């Protein structure tokens, strides 16, 4: 079974990873009164990875580490995690965010109440747990045993906020199993885990590069973005990036942990009224405030050589959650604001790990914002605001040049040899495009993790309104609208708007010839019909008796001028809503109607494949009427001979005449001029 066939199964049902059925295994071990030992992810050093492995590792079950182990000590308040020696920083941050959002936590940790230790019925315990993660279009159910790596009875992996709380360690183990080892998690990013926990679409904003701290207009737009995202229940995390791994966990002068993800729990524009805050914010009536949560419990972090630098136990910091009232920010008066006044303004806290920061401090202190948008399965959004999703699984592969097996063209001159997908938009639309790469499990187990991800990106090209064949060459009438920079990430995302028309989306690796699978997702507020362009030229059906295609013609209807009615009727409107129809053999193309315009501009292109090259193209301009039949304004014929390059033309539109004025030959009246460009090739793969 090919990689693509395997991945397409991800769209059918929840996948049982390694074909392990949690419920069947649980039933078996309860009947046999045995503890589950996972043969597919054994408790041995190799599942940790190839990096430096601590000596004397012992794999122990939670019951060996605590007299009363629990999945959650208190499901309502279990919102913190503690990193272990083997824990990767971004996984710690992701699990910390997961802990604070019950709706998402409960999707990853299914039926948590049924997996909980039951002290009243110890015979039900069988050391078996399962969790679900979203992977490339489908949820995957991962089964694990609860054997965890320890040294001297100290857990080396994640743990919950309490000594006897083990949900975080088990989620981390299941996620490591999905990736092949604990070590395989090291080269990821926070946005990857947030996507895997939610099925959402992530975006990373470089705060320093955007210069929000020094550009007020951009800062205002940035805060409006935060308001919109929090209203849509997106997950957002601010991070102070650590220059080196050794600096992860150290503090900035204001007390922020480098490398930590601070979860955004509220965004508010506060009315200051006549409070003391008005002077602090330079007389403004409103202040932009952001509530953040540091969900890590660093107090019990395992001791290390630089633990003194990490702990900060002898220093009081401005933005420590325990020192909120002593903030020393850019606004020095912030520390003078009394707690009762903050509460009156709505600047309240849900737990001790939260604190408020003015926007000015956020953009000056943090370096990166990660946003995970819950577009496809957002339970919080009303139906009228939901996003519609189009999904396509594909594969970059190289094969014989010019065949359907040749689909890895890279991002250079051979870019059009990649897979191509076409979609239409009837009006200007906001869209989100996500491209994710994946590799077969065999390769993931053999190659080092940092070589797995290719540089990936995509192009979006506006094409002819009726294109149904692969694009082979970009002429001026097919401009590149979006060229997303290639990044060595598991996924890349674009969010923006496209105007009305037909577009071709081309996912690419940076280098030609690279092989990988990918998932392409496009979101819009309207239905999207995404389909792959597979054919290089149109094929005649078996019953075709009219011959093969010989020429391909691209006609661009640019504009018309001086459109007139030759025989206007008194009941017709004085307004003109013109559109142009192109007829080529049995095929037609049509521009959208212009509104109340005697000199309309269309700039619409159409492509036609021609068998009878002696038969000219016919162009007709109509006036669109709401109630009455559309009115023919003028028409012309175009031989459209081979040009090998776009050729500008101006065609006189001949008005329809119902009868001759007399028996003499008369010149038919003109109803305007049509300006266009024509390209005709005798090579069907030249456009």
pLDDT given for residue 21 in this prediction: 96
pLDDT given for residue 600 in this prediction: 96
Are 201-373 and 387-533 the same fold in CATH? no
> Model confidence over 334-388: pLDDT tens digits?
555 566 666 666 677 777 778 888 898 899 999 999 999 998 665 455 555 678 9
pLDDT given for residue 276 in this prediction: 54
Query: 3-class secondary structure for 562-609?
Result: CCCCCCCCCCCCCCCCEEEEEEECCEEEECCCCCCCCCCEEEEEEEEE
pLDDT given for residue 281 in this prediction: 56
Helix (H, G, I), strand (E, B) or coil at 189: coil
In a 13 Å sphere around the CA of 113, the CA atoms on its Cβ side amount to 1
Alpha-helical (H) ranges within 380-504 are 441-446
The matching CATH number, chosen from 3.40.30.10, 3.30.420.40, 3.40.228.10, 2.60.120.380, for 387-533 is: 2.60.120.380
Helix (H, G, I), strand (E, B) or coil at 458: strand
> Model confidence over 50-71: pLDDT tens digits?
766 888 899 999 999 999 999 9
Which residue ranges in the chain fall short of pLDDT 50? 1-12, 299-315, 320-329, 379, 444-450, 659, 663-665
From residue 451, give the alpha-carbon distance in Å to each of 184, 230, 389, 489, 660.
11, 35, 31, 11, 78
Dihedral angle, C-alpha 153, 154, 155, 158, nearest 10 °: 160
In a 13 Å sphere around the CA of 369, the CA atoms on its Cβ side amount to 24
E strands in 157-277: 159-160, 201-206, 235-239, 261-271
From residue 616, give the alpha-carbon distance in Å to each of 298, 608, 637, 640, 641.
78, 12, 6, 7, 9
Centre a 10 Å sphere on the Cβ of residue 594 and count the other Cβ atoms it contains: 20
pLDDT given for residue 282 in this prediction: 57
Q: What angle do CA 456, 461, 463 make, to 5 degrees?
A: 150
pTM: 0.85
What DSSP character marks residue 546? Answer: S
pLDDT given for residue 271 in this prediction: 73
CA gap 128, 492 in Å, rounded = 36
Q: Assign domain 551-658+665-681 to its CATH architecture.
A: Sandwich (2.60)
Domain boundaries, the chain: 23-198, 201-373, 387-533, 551-658+665-681
The helix (run of H) or strand (run of E) holding residue 105 is helix 102-108
What DSSP character marks residue 51? Answer: S
CATH fold of 201-373 reads: Cathepsin B; Chain A (3.90.70)
**Rounded to 5, what percent of the chain is helix, strand, coil?**
20, 30, 45
Q: Is residue 551 within 8 Å of 37, Cβ to Cβ?
A: no
Phi, psi of 345 (to 5 degrees): -85, 0
CA gap 40, 177 in Å, rounded = 9
Q: Is residue 157 within 8 Å of 82, Cβ to Cβ?
A: no
**148 token code pair:** 């965890």
What DSSP character marks residue 3? Answer: H
């Amino acid at each position: 079974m090919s990689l693509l066939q395997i991945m397409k199964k991800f769209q059918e049902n929840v996948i049982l990873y390694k074909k392990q059925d949690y419920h069947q295994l649980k039933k078996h071990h309860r009947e046999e009164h045995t503890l589950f030992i996972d043969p597919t992810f054994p408790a041995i050093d190799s599942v940790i990875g190839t990096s430096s492995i601590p000596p004397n590792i012992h794999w122990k079950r939670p019951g060996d580490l605590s007299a009363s182990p629990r999945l959650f000590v208190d499901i309502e308040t279990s919102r913190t995690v503690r990193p272990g020696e083997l824990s990767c920083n971004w996984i710690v941050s992701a699990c910390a965010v997961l802990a604070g959002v019950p709706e998402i936590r409960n999707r990853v940790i299914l039926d948590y109440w049924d997996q909980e230790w039951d002290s009243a019925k110890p015979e039900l315990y069988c050391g078996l747990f399962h969790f679900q993660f979203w992977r490339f279009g489908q949820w995957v159910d991962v089964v694990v045993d609860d054997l965890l790596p320890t040294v001297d009875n100290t857990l080396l992996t994640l743990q919950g906020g309490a000594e006897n709380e083990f949900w975080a360690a088990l989620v981390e183990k299941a996620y490591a199993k999905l990736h092949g080892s604990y070590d395989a998690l090291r080269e990821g990013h926070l946005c990857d885990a947030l996507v895997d926990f939610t099925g959402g679409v992530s975006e990373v904003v470089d705060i320093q590069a955007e210069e929000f701290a020094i550009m007020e207009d951009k800062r205002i737009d940035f805060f409006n973005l935060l308001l919109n995202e929090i209203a849509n229940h997106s997950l957002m995390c601010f991070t102070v990036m650590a220059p080196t791994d050794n600096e992860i966990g150290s503090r900035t002068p204001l007390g922020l942990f480098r490398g930590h993800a601070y979860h955004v729990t509220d965004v508010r524009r506060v009315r200051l009224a006549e409070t003391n805050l008005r002077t602090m914010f330079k007389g403004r009536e409103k202040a932009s405030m952001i509530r953040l949560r540091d969900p890590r419990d660093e107090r019990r972090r395992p001791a290390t050589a630089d633990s003194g630098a990490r702990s900060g136990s002898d220093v009081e910091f401005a933005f420590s959650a325990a020192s909120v009232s002593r903030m020393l920010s850019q606004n020095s008066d912030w520390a003078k604001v009394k707690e009762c006044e903050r509460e009156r303004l709505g600047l309240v806290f849900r737990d001790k790990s939260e604190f408020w920061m003015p926007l000015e401090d956020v953009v000056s202190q943090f370096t990166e914002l990660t946003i995970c948008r819950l577009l496809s399965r957002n339970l919080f959004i009303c139906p009228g605001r939901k996003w519609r999703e189009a999904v396509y699984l594909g594969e970059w592969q190289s094969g014989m040049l010019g065949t359907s097996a040749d689909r890895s063209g890279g991002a250079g001159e051979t870019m059009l040899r990649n897979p191509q997908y076409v979609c239409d938009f009837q009006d200007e639309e906001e869209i989100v495009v996500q491209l994710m790469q994946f590799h077969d499990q065999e390769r993931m187990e053999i190659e080092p993790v940092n070589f797995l991800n290719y540089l990936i990106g995509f192009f979006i090209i506006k094409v002819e309104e009726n294109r149904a064949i692969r694009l082979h060459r970009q002429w001026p009438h097919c401009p590149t609208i979006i060229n997303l920079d290639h990044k060595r990430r598991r996924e890349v995302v674009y969010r923006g708007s496209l105007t009305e028309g037909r577009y071709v989306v081309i996912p690419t690796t940076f280098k030609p010839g690279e092989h990988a699978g990918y998932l392409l997702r496009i979101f819009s507020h309207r239905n999207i019909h995404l389909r792959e362009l597979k054919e290089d030229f149109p094929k005649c059906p078996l019953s075709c008796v009219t011959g093969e295609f010989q020429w391909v013609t691209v006609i661009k209807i640019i504009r018309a001028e001086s459109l007139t009615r030759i025989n206007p009727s008194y009941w017709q409107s004085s307004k003109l809503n013109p559109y142009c129809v192109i007829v080529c053999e049995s095929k037609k193309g049509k521009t959208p109607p212009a509104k109340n315009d005697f000199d309309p501009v269309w700039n619409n292109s159409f492509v036609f494949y021609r068998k009878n090259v002696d038969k000219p193209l016919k162009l007709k301009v109509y006036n669109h009427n709401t109630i009455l039949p559309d009115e023919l304004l003028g028409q012309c014929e175009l031989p459209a001979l081979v040009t090998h390059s776009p050729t500008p033309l101006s065609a006189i539109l001949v008005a329809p005449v119902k009868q001759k004025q007399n028996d003499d030959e008369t010149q038919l009246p003109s109803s305007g001029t049509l300006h266009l460009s024509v390209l005709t090739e005798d090579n069907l793969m030249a456009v």
